[in-house]
Amino acid sequence: MTAIDQRQDAVLRIEFPFVLPRGFVDENGVLHREGTLRLATARDEITAQNDTRVQHNPNYLTVLLLSRTVTALGTLPTVDTLVVECLFASDLAFLQDLYRRVNQGGHTEADVACPSCGHEFRVDVAGDAPGER
C-alpha cells in the first residue's frame, strides 16, 4: 500500500451519493432519482427511537431515520417523512440496505460472484451515482 493509498483510506466519507432504482415522483410529476445519504449520528438514532410514532409502530423507525439522513433527493427542497412514506417499496428497500451498509461498513460496495463463471468482483450498490469510488 502506497502513502497515497493510506491517506485515501484515512479519509472518512460522511456522504454517499446514490441513484434510486425507480425514483420519487413529486406532485408535479417530476422524477427524482439521484440523492445523497449521510452517515447517521447517535442523535439520529436516539431521537428516532424516542419518537412516539416509533413507539406505536416500530416499523416507522426506518422512515424517521431515512428522513434524517437522506440529505438530498433530486431537486426537492427537503426530504421529510412524507417523502420517505411516498417512496416506492423497492426504493425504500434500497435505501434501507444502503443505510445499513454505510453505517455498519462505511462503504457502499459489495463483493459478488458471477453465477455462470464464478468470477468474483466488487460492485457499488449505490447505483450509478456520481462521485468517489
Over residues 73-129, the pLDDT tens digits come to 999 999 999 999 999 999 999 999 999 999 987 555 666 777 878 877 666 666 554
Model pLDDT, residue 91: 98
- CA-wise closest residue to 93 among 125, 71, 58, 123: 125
Model pLDDT, residue 127: 59
Indicate whether 131 pLDDT > 50.
no
Mapping DSSP to helix (H, G, I), strand (E, B) and coil, where does residue 75 land? coil
Model pLDDT, residue 93: 97
**Cβ atoms within 10 A of the Cβ of 9, count?**
9
In the chain, where do the E strands start and end? Answer: 15-25, 31-38, 70-73, 109-113, 120-124
Average pLDDT, the chain: 86
Of 5-9, 36-40, 114-118, the poorest mean pLDDT is in 5-9
- Would you state the cell numbers that stand for residue 115, as one nine-digit string? 453465477
Contact 122, 110 (CB under 8 A): yes
Q: Phi, psi (5° rounding) for residue 46?
A: -65, -45
Residue ranges per domain, the chain?
3-124
Of 2-6, 29-33, 96-100, 124-128, the poorest mean pLDDT is in 2-6
Model pLDDT, residue 130: 46
pTM of the entire predicted model: 0.74
